[in-house]
Structure 1
Amino acid sequence: MTAGSATRSVFDAGLPVLCYDVTATPQEIYPQFRAAQQQAPVALGPIGPEVLSYQLARTVLRDPRFVVPQGIHLSAHGITSGELWDQVTRSILNMEGEEHRRLRGLVSRAFTPRATARMRDTIHTVINELIDGVLGDGRCEFVAAIARPYPIPVICALLGAPRQDWQLFSRWAEDIFKIVSFDCDLAAEQPAMLRAWDEFDAYIDEMIAARRRRLTDDLLSELIRAEIDGDRLNADELRMLAFSVLIAGTDTTRTQLAASVQVLCDHPDQWALLRERPELAMRAVEETMRHSPSMCSTVRTVAEDVTIDGYTFPAGTFIIVNTYAANRDAGVYDDPTRFDITRADPPPILTFGGGVHYCLGANLARLELAEALTILSRRLRHPRRIGDVEWKPLLGMSGPRQLWIEFGS
């Protein structure tokens, strides 16, 4: 941009315009993203400015002036107050400032790679049992048979809940996760969501009471132990954090596992390579999340006018950080539409966010996906996709609605 336009609003900067329906899929919209990306690092979308370039997206995610809008998904459904609003906006997923920093400081010690590595045996047991259930059939609908049930028993084990209660957790997650859905009437679903939330909280309260009597080696015990200069988490905070783990660690893993398996099936040479070289599993996770992510964007806003890289974002503007486009920025990734799990030292993907809101559970998510892909590639021979695959919309949680595959054993 020229010096004279350095302080102009993004709305007056002659930026490319994106015209798409909010129900459209990532694949349908991508040609627009790519064309706009060649003109400017920002475009104007149907909701607001969309940051498309890798460098600008990375900068915005790390800049504390760009904050998570309170209850953004609820606001989109016209819900701006009430019990559900209060519950959601008190979550660490919606926090900012000193309270957010304090909680992250206490919680981060429980999510180190060493801590999450303890889940490896549970992960292996769960994914192998799910594969056992379909292997003899030679085909399955992967979303329902494997991806959907996979993360909940892992979350139960992480928190320290008995594995036999995973179906309870699954039901609660299904109801509560409608918070971030664009596919339902949220106002009509509120009673069921609040009922599930109350049941989950009551269950966690019993677990907290039991752990205070006798600590174990699960996440809830680690959160109770967490202390910085005498500061500890209270019962309300422990309950809220357990909820955040359930929400942040369930549908994201489900949808990404399905998306990752689809792109690997569509590139059989890459599936075979992963089978032959399981040490590539973590690279496969990064590349599938770069090329075919289930979480394609994140939303930010600003309390006052913010100018960055010559673009001014007016106070109150909703900003889409389009990580789907940024992770395919040709200025950063060589041949960005190519799917290649052997990419050497690629820039870090932006799918897990950045800055103070970088995903706390990223280590666990990577481990769950890497171990699942390793075992799937070993046990399912020559998988191939059957028919077309419909994806969920770009906004919110995307990924395949169904994924039918055939395979040998």
Structure 2
Amino acid sequence: MTVGTAPASVFDSDLPTLDYAAEESPAEVYPRLRAAQREAPIAIGPFGPEVLSYRLVRSVLRDTRFQIPPGINLLSQGITSGPLWDKVVNSLLCIEGDTHHRLRSLTSKAFTPRATLRLHDTMVEVMNALVDRVGDAGRCDVVTDLARPYPVPIICALLGAPREDWEQFSCWADDVFKVFTFTIDVREVEPAAMRAWRELDDYIDDMVARRRHSLTDDLLSDLIRAEDDGDRLSTAELRMLAGGLLLAGTDTTRNQVAASVHVLCEHPEQWELLRERPELAMPAVEETMRHSPIACGTLRMVTQDVELDGYIFPAGTHVLVNTAAANRDPTIYDDPDRVDITREGAPAILTFGGGVHYCLGANLARREIAEALNVLAQRLKNPRTAGPVPWKPMVSLSGPKSLPIEFEVAR
């Protein structure tokens, strides 16, 4: 009889080390991720243990013993109290347990296929209008001219905010989102962020008050209607959820639209395939997000000693769940570096997370990006990059900083 070896701590398991700088882009770091992934499903990275394999990443995301750290990036900058801390820890992203389950149960009723489908015309209209502005020039910067202005009008239409307020929403999102950026000193941007957040809260409170007297066909009205065994969302919860939707659905969509366009420009045969077969738009979203996601990982904190796959994660350990590495795990995806929008039989990408914190707006995000890619594939012929395409760091929300392209336009 063979006596099994007792599992060891991840810190004492002779795991590969993984080193990268805060300013390096995903493409720069990826070869090192692959090398570490060949040795073990976990590496010791610059921020601690880093889970790399698809199977283990999926397990961690679904395991409630691995929780989002309170305050997310605020903790790493020594911020553990104050108005900003209170706002972040009481957001849907950070809430755990029964409160989180209750809010998701109520909110999910408003994120139906119908809610997404009714925005189709708005998505197409917004992207077509943006292409019209640059069509005659035959060139543009996808980041500033197409991707950045695209999602805010859609989120506003989803909430029921009037068009004349779209630019104000965009400014609020820009200011608030800076406090979630790992590469920025939060204390420097906190005053402007909190001012914007207060103004956004006041705006949403006013919208809620008006909707209660006259419900319409928008998400805010759906959230007000949402009920589960007599339980309803309070005004404070409506404020948090509506504001959170604006923040969560703005920069992520902007960056992924630009990233997906970049991938397809680098693979012109895939662009032409999408142009010929518009029904491939949703698979194109999955494949470009698998190959080049702008959210490369998520942070978890271990609430108790946990054994997974023969490794012990000690309580209190911060673990980086590297979904970008998992999305290109060669044991899961055939030829993972290949871009193929007709790829079949592959498991779901992990970019939207998993378990209780699976992205509530995942279906909406997929639809937004798909409609943008479909419009662009139909309107822009032979798009090609017309200069350098630097990407933002992997450790923050990544994506192209700029994406200059030239094209011929179809009217």
Aligned to 1:405: 405
**Residues 25-68 of structure 1: CA deviation (Å, up to 9, x unaligned):** 11111111101111110000000111100010011101111111
Q: Is contact 1:68–1:301 with CA below 8 Å preserved after alignment?
A: yes
Cα deviation digits, residues 50-92 of structure 1 (max 9, x gap)? 1100010011101111111111211222222111000111000
**How far apart are residue 345 of structure 1 and its match?**
2.2
Q: 1:109 to 1:3 in 2, by over 3 A?
A: farther
Partner of 1:259: 259
1:343 and 2:343 matched: yes
Deviation at 1:184, TM superposition (A): 2.6
Question: TM-score normalized by structure 2?
Answer: 0.98
Q: How far, CA to CA, are the matches of 2:66 and 2:78 in structure 1?
A: 23
Distance 2:407 2:174 in 1: 29
Displacement of 1:363: 0.6
Q: How far does residue 114 in structure 1 lie from its aligned partner after superposition?
A: 2.3
Whole-angstrom distance in 1 between the partners of 2:6 and 2:87? 40
1:32 counterpart residue number: 32
Say if 1:5 and 1:310, in contact at 8 Å, map to a contact too.
Answer: no
For normalisation by structure 1, the TM-score amounts to: 0.98
The superposition leaves residues 314-358 of structure 1 with CA deviations (integer Å, 9 ceiling, x where unpaired) of 111111110110000000000000011010121100000000000
* 1:187 pairs with 2:224: no
Give the Cα–Cα distance (whole angstroms) in 2 for the partners of residues 86 and 202 of structure 1: 17
Q: Which runs of 5+ in 2 are unaligned?
A: none
- Tell me how far apart the structure 1 counterparts of residues 3 and 296 of structure 2 sit (CA, whole Å): 33
Q: Which residue of 1 aligns with 2:301?
A: 301
Q: CA RMSD in A?
A: 1.1
Gaps of 5+ in 1: none
Q: Quick one: structure 1 residues 225 and 142, their matched pair in 2 at CA, closer, same or farther if it must change by over 3 Å?
A: same
Q: Distance in 2 between matches of 1:224 and 1:260?
A: 35
8 Å CA contact 1:172–1:197 kept in 2: the answer is yes
Instruction: For 1:299, give the aligned amino acid.
Output: L
Deviation per residue, 1:388-408 (Å, 9 max, x gap): 211111112000011100000
1:122 maps to what in 2? 122
SS for the counterpart of 1:111 is coil
**CA positional deviation for 1:183:** 3.6
Counterpart of 2:21 in structure 1 is 21
Q: What residue in structure 1 maps to residue 44 of structure 2?
A: 44
SS in 1 for 2:316: coil
**Amino acid of the residue matched to residue 159 of structure 1?**
L
Aligned residues: 408
How far did 1:3 drift? 7.1
Q: Is the 8 A contact 2:57 2:326 kept in 1?
A: yes
Residue 321 in structure 1 maps to residue 321 in structure 2: yes
Q: Which amino acid aligns with 1:282?
A: M
Change over 3 Å in CA distance of 1:377–1:8 after alignment to 2: same
**How far has the Cα of 1:4 moved from its partner?**
5.0
Aligned partners of 1:389, 1:78: CA distance in 2, in Å? 34
